[in-house]
């Protein structure tokens, strides 16, 4: 894989504010000199995720995840080490020069880079066709009919994909994009007759990642065609996974965090119109149901979700599926009652932005909305129908993460349906099964570094903590010229890293640069050591700890030699040599532990 020089990594980390990087994904609040928030790598109710500006590192006391800003992007966004460094470098305006030594990794990195460039260039071309070319007139006419101005189209870089395959081929040739790359991106697709454009005569909406880069497209059909999908999305590619991306999130993330609330719509145009109406905390999924990844993503920025779906049966079913995904995360799910046949876009054009904002403010709890919708059916006057509906609602109540929320919901349902509290409780309890705690993404659920940290000798770990927190201890330790002391002594790996390292733990850049060179488990383990409380004691205590490790090393050597002496067939001269060494070590050990004579 590509190799980035260590000095460049240090430069990137020195220019990176880890609080700012993590804060794009996690809602943080100051706690003394650090920042805390809900861990993005596992579900939790109270914050155990800690970001230390002074150490330029993060650590979760719940799941064990930890490391530098580079590690955070690797774990959170699924990036490689090099990709993470590049993103931070781009943000800091630092130029990266790499040394390549792994052909496969370099090939994958080049493909991702080529796909990003292709999508960025294609978005600009589609946009130019819509705004300037006579070919884009159908797209302009459609936008005008929906009340979307040229300024809005420019803000969202909306484009137009022409119906002619020849135009795409010509554009690709001018920009030197190969057919293979176009097929990989999904801009081209193929059948038995050959390759052809996936998007033809469609309004094009660029789909962006959290960093604002175009990674896919959603095309809206302009001509009525019963055989073609109204909306068509790019396929899954190395840079696009629809289950992990929310349309508009790159623009709305800050507004969502500020409001603590996110409005969820069904389509791109709804998101655009709601955003442009001043309610910027809005997103939509990519033509598919919400996923657990979406839920975790929103939970890191908001406490409440307002579903703004169509009021027909299809809209209610989509809302219920979304509730079932989001509710277990602890998000409070509400629903806006839209008039029949209306969507956010049409309502804003008809009633205005203020009226729509009032509807959002008046959103009701999803379970109440579900009951309102059901109670409008005359069949609900029959007890049997209400009982059947209660069973359906009970399944949704079970999904609520908070015991208080479940209790309140059961009381409301019993009151609305005219059923006994005990009956509702039985139905809710009947399907309750103990759940395994979900593993965090990127296998963080295995508590990285836990095994390594647990295997460390307690005295060695104490000395390691002292060296990381007390400059005088580290300075003294690095003057001790005993390279053999830790050899063959299990449980001293972390101490050895600190002892033999050339980093300064009091310097955030130096420390984070060192951490970035470690593997995931070691980085997490050492980050957890850094996150712990400063140990008591001073230089004298550290010296005593090192002396204890020396005695332990001698004991270990004696035991190893004695074990070898029991080996059958050991040559006599070798056995005698080992016996003499055992006696010598035992004498030295006894001399060291013998108390000093009383001078009195």
Q: DSSP string spanning 471-489?
A: HHHHHHHTT---TTSSTT-
Please give the pLDDT value at position 50.
94
Contacts of 279 (CB under 8 A, 6+ apart): 263, 353, 356, 357, 360
Distance CA 598, CA 361 (A): 82
Token duo for residue 462: 């104490």
CATH of domain 2-100: 3.90.580.10
Range of weakest confidence among 80-84, 169-173, 251-255, 552-556: 552-556
CB 32 within 8 A of CB 41: no
Q: Please name the residue that has the structure tokens 């603590």.
A: 260
Range of weakest confidence among 404-413, 529-538, 578-587: 578-587
Please give the pLDDT value at position 416.
85
Please give the pLDDT value at position 600.
44
Length of the chain: 600
pLDDT tops 60 at residue 438: no
Please give the pLDDT value at position 263.
96
pTM score, whole prediction: 0.64
Token duo for residue 132: 């300037």
Q: State the average pLDDT over residues 442-468.
A: 77
Task: Provide the total of helices (H) and of strands (E) in the chain, helices listed first.
Answer: 27, 18
Range of weakest confidence among 83-97, 122-136, 183-197, 254-268: 83-97
Confidence of residue 2 (pLDDT cuts 50, 70, 90): low
- Give CA 560 to chain center in angstroms: 47
Please name which of 539, 466, 442, 522 lies closest in space to residue 79, comparing C-alpha atoms: 442
Mean pLDDT over the full length of the chain? 85
Q: State the average pLDDT over residues 127-134.
A: 96
**Would you kindly state where each structural domain of the chain is located, as residue ranges?**
2-100, 103-233, 249-430, 450-593
Q: How far, in Å, are 103, 204, 250, 591 from residue 116 at the CA level? A: 20, 17, 16, 69
* Strand ranges in 364-470 using DSSP code E only, listed in sequence order: 364-365
Please give the pLDDT value at position 590.
63
pLDDT tops 70 at residue 333: yes
Which range, 40-49, 66-75, 279-288, 450-459, is most confident?
66-75
Q: State the average pLDDT over residues 81-97.
A: 86
pLDDT tops 60 at residue 435: no
CATH number of 249-430: 3.30.420.240, 3.40.50.970, 3.40.1360.10, 3.40.309.10? Answer: 3.40.1360.10
pLDDT tops 50 at residue 1: no
Please give the pLDDT value at position 592.
58
Q: What is the CATH topology of the domain spanning 103-233?
A: DNA primase DNAg catalytic core, N-terminal domain (3.90.980)
Q: State the average pLDDT over residues 388-405.
A: 88
Confidence of residue 186 (pLDDT cuts 50, 70, 90): very high
Please give the pLDDT value at position 70.
94
Confidence of residue 532 (pLDDT cuts 50, 70, 90): confident
Dmax of the chain from CA atoms? 107
CB 294 within 8 A of CB 310: no
Confidence of residue 436 (pLDDT cuts 50, 70, 90): very low
Percent of the chain predicted with pLDDT > 90: 39
Please give the pLDDT value at position 379.
85
Please give the pLDDT value at position 405.
87
Q: How many CB atoms lie within 10 A of CB 212?
A: 9
Distance CA 489, CA 537 (A): 24
CA 532-536-537 angle, to 5 degrees, is 140
CATH 1.10.860 fits 450-593, yes or no: yes
CB 394 within 8 A of CB 424: yes
Q: State the average pLDDT over residues 161-182.
A: 95
């Amino acid at each position: 894989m590509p190799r980035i020089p260590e000095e460049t990594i240090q430069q990137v980390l020195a220019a990176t504010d880890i609080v700012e990087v993590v804060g794009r994904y996690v809602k943080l609040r100051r706690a003394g000199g650090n920042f805390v928030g809900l861990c993005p790598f596992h579900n939790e109710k109270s914050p155990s995720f800690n970001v230390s500006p002074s150490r330029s590192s993060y650590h979760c006391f719940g799941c064990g995840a930890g490391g530098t800003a580079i590690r955070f992007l690797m774990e959170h966004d699924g990036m490689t080490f090099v990709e993470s460094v590049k993103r931070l470098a781009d943000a800091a305006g630092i130029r990266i020069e790499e040394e390549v030594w792994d052909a496969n990794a370099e090939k994958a990195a080049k493909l991702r880079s080529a796909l990003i460039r292709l999508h960025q260039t294609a978005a600009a071309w589609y946009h130019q066709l819509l705004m300037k070319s006579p070919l884009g007139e159908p797209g302009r006419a459609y936008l005008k009919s929906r009340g979307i101005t040229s300024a809005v189209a420019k803000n969202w870089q909306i484009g137009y994909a022409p119906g002619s395959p020849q135009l795409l081929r010509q554009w690709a040739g001018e920009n030197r994009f190969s057919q293979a790359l176009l097929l990989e991106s999904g801009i081209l697709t193929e059948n038995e007759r050959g390759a052809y454009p996936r998007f033809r005569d469609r309004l094009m909406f660029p789909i962006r990642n959290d960093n604002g880069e175009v990674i896919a497209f959603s095309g809206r059909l302009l001509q009525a065609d019963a055989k073609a999908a109204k909306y068509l999305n790019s396929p899954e590619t190395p840079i696009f996974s629809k289950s992990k991306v929310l349309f508009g999130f790159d623009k709305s993330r800050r507004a969502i965090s500020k409001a603590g609330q996110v409005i969820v719509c069904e389509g791109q145009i709804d998101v655009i119109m709601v955003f442009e109406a001043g309610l910027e905390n809005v997103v939509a999924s990519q033509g598919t149901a919400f996923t657990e990844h979406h839920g975790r993503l929103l939970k890191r920025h908001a406490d409440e979700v307002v579903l703004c779906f169509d009021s027909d049966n299809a809209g209610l079913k989509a809302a219920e599926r979304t509730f079932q995904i989001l509710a277990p995360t602890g998000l409070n799910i509400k629903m806006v009652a839209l008039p029949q046949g209306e969507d956010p876009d049409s309502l804003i054009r008809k009633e205005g932005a203020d009226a729509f904002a009032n509807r959002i403010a008046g959103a009701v709890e999803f379970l109440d909305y579900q009951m309102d919708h059901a109670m409008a059916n005359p069949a609900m006057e029959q007890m049997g129908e209400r009982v059947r509906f209660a069973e359906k609602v009970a399944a949704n109540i079970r999904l609520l993460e908070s015991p208080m929320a479940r209790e309140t919901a059961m009381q409301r349902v019993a009151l609305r349906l005219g059923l006994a509290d005990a009956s509702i409780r039985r139905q809710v309890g009947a399907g309750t099964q103990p759940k395994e705690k979900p593993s965090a993404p990127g296998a963080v659920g295995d508590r990285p570094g836990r095994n390594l940290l647990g295997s460390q000798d307690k005295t060695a770990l104490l000395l390691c903590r002292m060296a990381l927190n007390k400059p005088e201890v580290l300075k003294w330790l690095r003057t001790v010229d005993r390279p053999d002391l830790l050899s063959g002594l299990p449980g001293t790996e972390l101490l050895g890293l600190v002892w033999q390292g050339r980093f300064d733990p009091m310097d955030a850049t130096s420390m984070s640069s060192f951490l970035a060179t470690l593997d995931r488990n070691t980085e997490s383990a050492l980050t957890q050591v850094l996150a712990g409380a400063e140990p008591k004691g001073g230089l004298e205590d550290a010296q005593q700890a090192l002396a204890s490790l020396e005695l332990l090393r001698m004991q270990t050597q004696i035991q190893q030699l004695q074990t070898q002496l029991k080996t059958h067939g050991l040559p006599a001269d070798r056995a005698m040599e080992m016996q003499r060494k055992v006696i010598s070590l035992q004498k030295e050990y006894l001399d060291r532990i013998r108390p000093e004579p009383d001078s009195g």
